[in-house]
Structure 1
């Protein structure tokens, strides 16, 4: 696994756009190999009458990953700073944002955001990287009106993934005026329909109850030191023998401030009301009527 990650990391660390693109493709290929089954279990897809059947690898469901040797090796490597893919992608994204003010790196930025989403879903403990303001500052920067709608939409989705089950990240996001950025973009007449749709989804997500299911990672994570991450109690934690009961236990209490303190829906409603007065009640009414996110508010 290290031999696959090493050339990808070298390319991602380059100042050349072409090499960065190659590095992103290499990471994408690695994640695809982990998420797709090998040639031993192909599935055939009949494309058109008369066309030859093409063999395509079947996607693995989440439960299948726990027994996959490649995924087990990947997950373990993510526990350390040296091979943590999310950290490398965030560093590359920061470079692209700083150098890509003229739009020359827009596609690479979108690709990097998509890969960050995937890595955070495969290795949830990496989400704690966003507890650092240096990383949490990136999403608000990418939501600025100067950026194209594709970047803004991808940023909102990435933000949801980074904040999901991570109240400590949510508090950092709020402290950095991230909610002000979201609501300002929502109110702007210049914001396109697709982006406004994503923003509405984000507000729905923000107003759902907080359930911290990922244990706080070791403090060394915040400094980027070795021993970066701890296990996750999610389904993926079955790789290391399962931690579901521990995760349930974590949900029973409310953490202290600065350590992932959760807020109630009413408290978050007050925050949104500061920026979008009169809108929150309609959003909550929609949540009650249409029950997105599995109807967690009912």
Structure 2
């Protein structure tokens, strides 16, 4: 396990897209084996989680480096009108976002790696109307995963204007319906109660505060909150501290 993680780490940190692709497939393999073990290929979750606590073996760190590299290459390919590279890198970006989702679901402490305005700004670059729908949807999905029970990450996303970007994408007439539906789910998530603990208290906002902030970018937020309270898509809401 340690050898595979180190090899994946090194490949993901490469500046060569083909090498990054190899590292990505290795990371996918690890996540799959841990989350869906078989008799022939069983990786104990406890061992994986223990290794994720180490800088040497944590997979989220190199994935974020590869993510940044791929966003850069994708932009350059678009500017150069290199359709083949653009298509390849778009697929890799979607795949790495999926892996990043899996990693934080398996190891929630890795969410703290996203408490960086530079990292979150990379997501913002994918929240443009000009980006492929698959990238827009994957980016919004991953944002939800990295922010669950992490008010500190959500506040960082607000600081870089991330919420405003999601709203602009949602309101744009050219935005695909699939992206709009994903953005709508994001708004429901955003308006949900945040955890109340000593760790989160300095960064926590109440639902009323978030509703007021979201209303600066979006209309009918009252209606969104009413729908959330009525249909409870994420289950029963704990409003004991709101």
Structure 1 distance, partners of 2:33, 2:55, is: 22
The within-5 A match list for 1:42-191 is 70-101=44-75, 102=78, 103-104=86-87, 105-191=89-175
Q: CA deviation at 1:253?
A: 8.0
The equivalent of 1:52 in structure 2 is: none
Contact map agreement 2:151 2:200 (CA 8 A) in 1: no
Q: Which of residues 209, 218, 222 in structure 2 aligns to 1:267?
A: 209
Q: 4+ residue stretches of structure 1 with deviation over 4 A?
A: none
Structure 1 distance, partners of 2:122, 2:60, is: 14
Cα deviations across residues 248-279 of structure 1 (Å, max 9, x unaligned)?
A: xxx378622xxxx21111100001110113x1
Does 2:222 correspond to 1:276? no
Q: CA deviation at 1:36?
A: 1.8
> What TM-score do you get using the length of structure 2 for normalisation?
0.89
Cα deviations across residues 45-88 of structure 1 (Å, max 9, x unaligned)?
A: xxxxxxxxxxxx9xxxxxxxxxx863222111111222110111
Q: CA deviation at 1:23?
A: 1.3
The equivalent of 1:4 in structure 2 is: 4
Contact map agreement 1:287 1:297 (CA 8 A) in 2: no
Structure 2 distance, partners of 1:9, 1:262, is: 33
The equivalent of 1:295 in structure 2 is: 236
Cα deviations across residues 216-247 of structure 1 (Å, max 9, x unaligned)?
A: xxxxxxxxxxxxxxxxxxxxxxxxxxxxxxxx
Taking a change above 3 Å as real, the CA distance of residues 10 and 253 of structure 1, as seen in their structure-2 partners, is: closer
Structure 2 gap segments, 5+ residues each: 79-85
Structure 1 distance, partners of 2:121, 2:192, is: 23
Structure 1 or 2, whichever has the larger Rg, is 1
Q: CA deviation at 1:39?
A: 1.9
Contact map agreement 1:89 1:116 (CA 8 A) in 2: yes
Q: CA deviation at 1:7?
A: 2.0
The equivalent of 2:16 in structure 1 is: 16
More helix by share: 2
> What TM-score do you get using the length of structure 1 for normalisation?
0.73
Structure 2 distance, partners of 1:69, 1:96, is: 29
Structure 1 gap segments, 5+ residues each: 41-56, 58-67, 213-250
